[in-house]
Amino acid sequence: MCVLLLALVAAIFVPASAAGAESTAERRLLYVAVPGIRDYLEYGGHGVLVFDLDRGHALVRRIPAQGLSAEGKPLNVKGIVASAVTRRLYVSTLQFVTCFDLMTDKILWEKSYEGGCDRMALSPDGKTMYLPSLEKDHWHVLDALTGDVLTKVVPKSGAHNTLYGPDGAHAYLAGLKSPLLRVTDTATHTISREVGPFGSAIRPFTINGRQTLCFVNVNALLGFEVGDLTTGRMLHRVEVQGFVPGVPKRHGCPSHGIGLTPDEKELWLCDAVNQRMHIFDATVMPPKQITSVAVRDQPGWITFSLDGKLAYPSTGEVIDVASRKIVATLADEKGGPVYSEKLLEIDFAGGVPVRAGDQFGIGRVTK
């Protein structure tokens, strides 16, 4: 009886910090939308796969998705964005945007848009989305909470990739049919300036946190070009040394994927044909090629963990940035490889989202 009584007393007087430790502990999760390489279901199937960064990227769960064609077939995923502020996750496919509740995984709404959908961007406050049509003339500007269209931006550039600046004041619009990067004033949703022209049509691109520089992939270049976001001038053209470009099996350009580490010390570049991630010292200008990491297939995208310690090429490896070593590979429920060009980190505390990463490798040095 005495032992039982002591146990009950101990349970009642457990320190609050210990009792709440598990409920308030942070959890870092990687959200991976599939099919994230065209419509190839062999690389993870259909849905959103959630992996635990702190448990060796073990699979936590699969979130069922819609985004089906009229024939009931899963459509290519085109983009993924999230907001810890509004607690929402968004996935775009060729035809739809699907909005998920991050607290419940439930679908809040799914809508189709004129001209289709491509790789979108979300404002820092989570309230506004720039949604490109599928390589057509316009971007829709959406109320991200409802999915309603607020207005259009029409640069007639073959709408494709989109970034929102870290301060929310500007959005960056790149089209497959133009060598110019358009910059909008998000207070008026009008184009305020253009950057370039670059050497060819712009493919993936990224920006630094101060929004003074952009780093762009362009057609026919194994490498990248650098633009000045303030003056609008192209500054540098950087070609990868020691490797032959060749013809990639996807995307049609040798380098499709570029990202800055969050501390902006390195720039990582995709090389499809040679199955490499080329790493550049970004503390000098133009960035200087320093080393490469081999991956298991042709990479077409790159992004990073929020702390900058891990790199995520689209080929499903997890690379330790400091050592350049592959420390994990993403796998589905059956152990099959997961590839995707649409993934980002979301951190939770006590089950509530507190931080959300970005599908692009955006620099995060803002001062």
Q: Summarize pLDDT for 216-230 with one digit per residue, the tens.
A: 999 999 999 999 999
* Segment 31-40 mean pLDDT: 97
The pLDDT of residue 4: 36
In terms of C-beta distances under 8 Å and separation of at least 24 residues, what long-range contacts does 292-298 make, across chains too?
Answer: 292/243, 293/319, 293/324, 293/326, 295/326, 296/329, 296/337, 297/339, 298/248, 298/249, 298/250, 298/272, 298/273
Q: Summarize pLDDT for 247-279 with one digit per residue, the tens.
A: 999 999 999 999 999 999 999 999 999 999 999
C-alpha distances (whole Å) from 147 to each of 93, 99, 331 are 14, 8, 32
- Quick count: other Cβ atoms within 10 Å of Cβ 64? 11
- For residue 210, the 8-state DSSP code is T
Note the Cα 162 to chain centre separation in Å: 11
* Segment 296-313 mean pLDDT: 98
* Segment 107-122 mean pLDDT: 98
The pLDDT of residue 67: 83
Percent of the chain residues topping a pLDDT of 90: 91
